[in-house]
Amino acid sequence: MPPHNKPPSAVGTSLWRHRNFRRYLTGQAASVAGSSITQMALPVLAVLHLDATAAQVAWLAFLGQLPPALLALHAGALADRYSKRRQMITGDLVSAAVLATVPVSAALGTLTLTQLMIVAVVQGTASVLHDAAAISLLPGLVDRSMIQRSNSRVGTLFAIAATGGSHLGAVLTAMGGPARALLGDVASYLISAGCTARIQAPGRVRTRPETRRLRDEIGEGLRYVYGDDRLRTLTLVNATTSFALGLLNTLWALYLLRALAMSATAFGVVLGLGALGAAAGALA
């Protein structure tokens, strides 16, 4: 193929020359860093400021994980059917809006655990819609030969962003309290939406017959995964790992903050140091 006919993603050998990939990476890294701020600040807010019990913390964690469990298949089918960029931007803006209600309510003195639980459900729903589209968008941004390298760059930067976000969350919490620290995550969602909006030619949207139901597409995807030994094994491994992490994360914050009387700043540093392991694995 002559050089002038090559798609933009296939020109050059460096991924950093591809503007679409840079915009994608910048937006998603900002979102990951912001999410780490929330993962650090929200338990502090619930345990230390709202005096949540172990059962309430467990419910908060459960409700946050419920949307991915129920809607992940639907979100993937929607991303395959409609615009991935629009789905990502919608998820970012909804997450920013609902999360912004927390510091506003805290400033007014009306914040409750019930509101935190509602925020967890809405944000979890928006996040699963965003993530499903983001995962399927990446292969359309770079040449096929660069997908492995692009995934490596994404994993590395995301792990570093998660570490930095946890430490930033600790600093923001120490300076203004956990509720105001959440504004950092609100800003990250807006950055992510802005970067996604600037991505050009994100890939074709496949046209589906109007009579084809979403349930049929989901069933087709499930049969495809079940019929492939590698995909079936990876799915089982991921499900088992997620279950174990869910057990750990549910009471992790409660134990550190209440049983060990750890300060909010120290809690953020611990989370940041823990994320260094993910960064090291991604670099390896």
pTM: 0.78
Most confident region among 46-50, 74-78, 155-159 by mean pLDDT: 46-50
- 19-44 and 113-137 are packed helices; what angle lies between their axes, rounded to 10 degrees? 160
> How far apart are the C-alpha atoms of 255 and 259, rounded to whole Å?
5
Q: What is the CATH number of domain 16-202+214-283?
A: 1.20.1250.20
- pLDDT, one tens digit per residue, over 168-208 is 888 888 888 889 999 999 999 999 999 999 988 544 545 45
Kindly write down the DSSP assignment for every residue of 92-105, as one continuous string. Answer: HHHHHHHHHHHHHH
Amino acid at 5: N
- pLDDT, one tens digit per residue, over 66-120 is 888 888 778 888 887 888 899 999 999 999 999 999 999 999 999 999 999 999 9
